[in-house]
Amino acid sequence: MGDVFGIDPADISQDASPGRIDQWDSLHHMNLVLALEDEFAVRFPEDRIEHLISFELIVLTLKELGVSN
């Protein structure tokens, strides 16, 4: 997330969301999704992509897809 949004990873908290990260717009959201898919070798279901709107939801979805860390 830090790389995609150009911010220090230490500034990303559990409640990180578009309302808390100014750079989190629609373009950065898609870049984040692609980066996460590459990093964790997963594919998010299309109907879930628009709902990945917080750090917490991203972590939960990754766990649902079988990513353990």
| Domain map (residue ranges) of the chain | 2-64
| pLDDT tens for each residue of 4-58 | 999 999 999 999 999 999 999 999 999 999 999 999 999 999 999 999 999 999 9
pLDDT at position 68 is 80
Integer angstrom CA distances of residue 7 from 21, 38, 42, 59: 9, 20, 24, 19
Question: Selecting from 1.10.10.10, 1.10.490.20, 1.10.1200.10, 3.40.50.12160, what CATH number does the domain 2-64 have?
Answer: 1.10.1200.10
Q: What's the pTM value of the predicted model, to 2 decimals?
A: 0.91
Q: How many CB atoms lie within 10 A of CB 28?
A: 18
